[in-house]
Structures are given as structure tokens and as C-alpha cells.
Homo-oligomer: A and B are copies of this chain.
């Protein structure tokens, strides 16, 4: 696998060559799209590499974190789906994983018996507090070359892009 600078140069060259056959291609935006996909993918690889020793992948971990940070320490699968960009099918699998690992408990709700309540266990909280700290240096390093103002700008721009894509996917600005 080539190092990043060469990889980026190759990408730039390839995209630039597209405009030979399709002159009206929005080159800048295509490059940004590819960069986002590239960075997102590498970030995910790196994160999952750190989670693998604990038998979790990013979906599992994100779900665990959402239950962990929930004020009540519990949540239902459908609530989690709402915010975790995941289908109900996969949430069932994730719940199975977390329950089997003893990190959360699964109980059916009292008020609405269709619902399932996932609650974090002591072991779950302990695992979160064990996994996170070793991640901090790496997360920090990923943005180490950015100034404080760069980071604020990146934050702002990414949120804008997130909203743009959301509008693109689900049009209807009709409440």
C-alpha cells in the first residue's frame, strides 16, 4: 500500500483526467467527496483496529457509548436506530453482541411490551472507561497538525456538508 501523499497525488491526477472526456465535471467537489470517503474510511479502520481486542466493532461501540451517555443508562433499540444511522436488523445483532458480552442487559419494557430496554451494566461502564483513554492520544494525533482555529473551521464545514447531504437525501423541507 502506497503512502498517503502519493495516494493523494494519484487521486488528483485521475480526477483531473476525467475533465478531458467530461469537461463540465465539478472537479473541486469530486476531490472533496473522495477525500471525505478516504479519510472516513481510514479513520474507521484505525478505530476498529483499536476495538478489535475487545471483540467490538465501531457499530457495537457506538451503540454502547450511546447507552453509556444516556442519562438513564438505558435505551431502546429504536431510539438507538434513530440516531446511529443503522437499521433495526443490525441493531438486533448489536444488542445480541453486547448482551452476550455482558455489557448491557435486555429486558422488555413495562409500559410498552413491544419495546426492549437495553441497560448498561457495571461491566459495560468499566469497559468504556477502559477502552476510551488509550484512544485519546490517537484521536488527538489525527488532528495534531491543525491549529485550534483550523479545528473549529473543520467542525463548521463538516456540519454544513452533513446538512447538505441530508437535504439531498431527504428533500421535502415541508414540516
Contact = CB atoms under 8 A, between A and B. Distances in A.
Nearest to A83: B10
A71 B46 CA distance: 33
Pick the 4 closest A-B CB pairs, nearest first: A40-B40, A4-B166, A14-B69, A35-B158
Interface string A15-49: 10110011011101111110111111111111100
5 contacts: A8-B162, A14-B70, A28-B143, A141-B164, A154-B154
Interface of A: 1-8, 10-11, 13-15, 17-18, 21-22, 24-26, 28-33, 35-47, 58, 65-66, 69-71, 81-83, 85, 125, 128-129, 132-133, 136, 138-146, 150-151, 153-155, 157-170
A85 B142 contact: no
A5 B35 contact: no
A90 to B, nearest CB: 13
Contacts of A37: 40, 43-44, 47, 58
